[in-house]
């Protein structure tokens, strides 16, 4: 069932269950299972609908604001009148305030889970991997707008980051940082060059996987080292540095020059150049340019597992 239909069903079921409970003579809002379930549905249903029409961060902020107002009204009423102001579903919303606030603090400022959507970071990350993203590593940021409030650090070469996809900020991507502000990055058929130094590659055998379209793919595997980070990359034999037609159609051409021989970019201030580890199957900076600092969501620290089964459970990637 889709998110919209689930939210709609819960929103409709909540009042219906409360009305049915009332007809049965149930009045104890705390101990009546039917009333409790009805009030819970009446709260959670609209929340799901809000997530559907907006985003999860926006829905969390609205939930925190509404439950906070109800909690404040209850607190003031108990201080002045000796009893709570809310009842019914509003009381359940008030009771949920501290929990919602805790979720918001952790989600916006500490850590957040993401699910890897594609094969672009193979062999390091596979489709369906659940990764933990450190939200504190690149600064405390204003929720939803993602504007930095307190700087705590910047991405370094070799780190894996999650960021808002520049052409569509509603989508989150994960890639590896190749170039930081001021770097000159060159990408061609033979590999990557940073500030005139070729990124060393050591052959590490072959690698096979099933593509996102469901086709078997065979690629050469290499060990690379960038800064203090060692990782593995993939390249399919015979494929060029990028799909030049797609680059010409998509790339904003800001600070980059490209042709059949390759691409060379100078990374501007406040921006980063990122590439997927699966070089022949990744929509990355080669196609759409740089990642602005305002789009950073956090650093990938660990893989918890995979949505289709256990994989690298508890593996730290720092």
- State the CATH number of the domain containing residue 219: 2.10.109.10
- Residues 204, 86 share a domain: no
What single-letter DSSP state applies at residue 199? P
Pairing type for strands 148-150 and 140-141 reads antiparallel
Q: Do 152 and 229 fall within a single domain? A: yes
Q: Does 309 reside within a domain?
A: no
Residue 253 domain boundaries: 116-304
Please name the residues in contact with 190: beta carbons below 8 A apart, sequence gap of 6 or more.
198
pLDDT at 212: 84
Whether residue 317 is contained in a domain is answered as no
Say whether both 78 and 223 belong to one domain: no
* End-of-domain residue from the set 43, 75, 109: 109
Helix (H) or strand (E) holding 89: helix 88-95
Classify residue 23 by burial, with Cβ atoms within 10 Å: 0-12, 13-18, 19+. exposed
- Residue 30 has a pLDDT of 67
- pLDDT of 221 reads 97
- Name residues of the chain where pLDDT drops below 70: 1, 30, 309-318
Quick one: pLDDT at residue 246?
A: 92
Tokens read off for 103? 């979720």
Choose the catalytic residue: 175, 233, 280, 282: 175
Is residue 229 a part of any domain in this protein?
A: yes
| Domain co-membership, 84 together with 195 | no
Q: Residue 311 falls within a domain, yes or no?
A: no
Concerning whether 94 is annotated as a catalytic residue, the answer is no
Is 132:304 a contact under the CB 8 Å cutoff?
A: yes
Q: Are residues 30 and 125 in the same domain?
A: no
Contact 162, 135 (CB under 8 A): no
For residues 120 and 203, membership in a common domain is answered with yes
Q: What gap in Å lies between CA 263 and CA 280, rounded to an integer? A: 15
Q: Do the domain assignments include residue 222?
A: yes
pTM, entire model? 0.84
Last residue of a domain, one of 59, 85, 109: 109
Number of independent structural domains in the chain: 2
Distance CA 15, CA 38 (A): 6
Looking at the structure, tell me whether residues 82 and 220 fall in a common domain: no
Q: Is residue 56 included in any domain, yes or no? A: yes
The per-residue b/e assignment along 173-205, b for 16 or more CB within 10 angstroms, e otherwise, is: bbbbbbbbbebebbbbeebbbbeeeebebeeee
Burial of 54 (0-12, 13-18, 19+ CB in 10 A): middle
pLDDT at res. 24: 85
Reported as half-sphere exposure (CB side, CA atoms, 13 A), residue 278 has a value of: 23
Predicted local confidence at residue 131, as pLDDT? 96
> Is-catalytic flag, 32?
no
- Given 36, 94, 119, 120, the catalytic residue: 120
Is 62 contained in some domain?
A: yes
pLDDT of residue 310: 56
Same structural domain, 105 and 124: no
Residue pair 116/126 in contact (Cβ under 8 Å)? The answer is yes
Q: For residue 193, what are its two tokens?
A: 């060059």
The residue among 82, 109, 136 that closes a domain is 109
């Amino acid at each position: 069932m889709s998110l919209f239909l689930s939210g709609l069903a819960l929103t409709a079921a909540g009042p219906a269950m409360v009305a049915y409970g009332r007809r049965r003579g149930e009045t104890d809002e705390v101990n009546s299972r039917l009333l409790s379930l009805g009030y819970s549905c009446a709260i959670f249903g609209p929340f799901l609908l809000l997530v559907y029409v907006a985003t999860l961060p926006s829905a969390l902020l609205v939930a925190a604001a509404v439950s906070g107002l109800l909690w404040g009204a209850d607190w003031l009423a108990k201080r002045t009148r000796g009893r709570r102001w809310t009842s019914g579903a509003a009381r359940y919303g008030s009771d949920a305030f501290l929990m919602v606030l805790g979720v918001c603090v952790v989600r916006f400022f500490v850590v957040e889970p993401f699910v890897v959507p594609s094969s672009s970071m193979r062999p390091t990350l596979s489709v369906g991997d659940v990764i933990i993203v450190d939200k504190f590593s690149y600064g405390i940021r204003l929720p939803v707008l993602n504007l930095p409030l307190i700087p705590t650090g910047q991405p370094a070469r070799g780190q894996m980051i999650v960021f808002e996809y520049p052409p569509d900020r509603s989508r989150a991507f994960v890639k590896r940082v190749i170039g930081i502000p001021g770097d000159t990055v060159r990408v061609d058929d033979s590999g990557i060059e940073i500030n005139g130094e070729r990124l060393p590659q050591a052959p590490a055998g072959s690698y096979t996987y099933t593509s996102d379209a469901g086709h078997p793919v065979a690629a050469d595997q290499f060990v690379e080292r960038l800064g203090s980070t060692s990782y593995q990359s993939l390249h399919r034999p015979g494929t060029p540095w990028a799909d030049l037609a797609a680059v010409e159609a998509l790339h904003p051409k800001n600070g980059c020059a490209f042709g059949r021989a390759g691409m060379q970019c100078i990374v501007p201030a406040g921006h980063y150049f990122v590439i997927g580890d699966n070089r022949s199957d990744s929509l990355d900076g080669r196609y759409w340019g740089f990642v602005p600092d305002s789009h950073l969501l956090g650093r990938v620290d660990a893989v918890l597992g995979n949505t289709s089964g256990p994989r690298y459970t508890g593996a730290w990637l720092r």
